[in-house]
Amino acid sequence: MLWRLEDEPSARSASGFADVPPDTWFTDAVAWAAEQGIVTGCDPETFGPSDPLTREQLAAILYRYAKYLGMDVSAAADLSGYLDAADVSDWALDAFRWAIVSGLIRGVSETRLSPKTQATRAQVATMLMRFDALRASADQLNRMSGEVPADAVQSAAIPAKNGAGSPLPE
């Protein structure tokens, strides 16, 4: 999806992942995202195209994509209020902290992040919608001032409630 948002750019080379064949519908997208550092795979040779996506993996992908776009990703939430904060993988910690503070992801409860659980379709859709709104806010600030202030990402976060007053799905 991110590859399509970027108008399906060409990658300079194959992805290098043994489990990404050269002729699938996702081959070019994975190669481009890997080349840009947006995806890193399960290890240097394995992408895991049929594996479920975890909440921390999605946070990391959006964090790296935001960096690719030049967005400020320096804001970081304090995760100490979550009982399972220690479950966030080291490689995903900065991304998860940024995703929380910027409003892209929330805990599955007041005290649980569930970083290693599979992201549901609803969670993925919600996080992508929030990212799109965050990106639009950053773009608008860029156009207005020529520079995005350090606190712009946090101030552009999406409200916690939908129009009906209930929390959006995570």
Walking along the chain (170 residues) 10 residues at a time, the average pLDDT comes out as 83 88 91 92 92 96 95 95 96 96 93 96 94 86 61 46 43
Tokens matching residue 78: 């304090």
Identify whether the C-beta of residue 115 lies closer than 8 Å to the C-beta of residue 92: yes
Residues in the chain: 170
CA dist., res. 69 & res. 88, Å (int): 24
Identify whether the C-beta of residue 169 lies closer than 8 Å to the C-beta of residue 120: yes
Tokens matching residue 62: 């959006």
Q: Three-class SS of residue 104?
A: coil
pLDDT score for 64: 96
What is the number of other CB atoms lying within 10 angstroms of the CB of residue 83? 13
Identify whether the C-beta of residue 157 lies closer than 8 Å to the C-beta of residue 103: yes
Task: Give the residue from 169, 151, 160 showing the smallest Cα distance to 71.
Answer: 151
Global confidence as pTM:
0.80
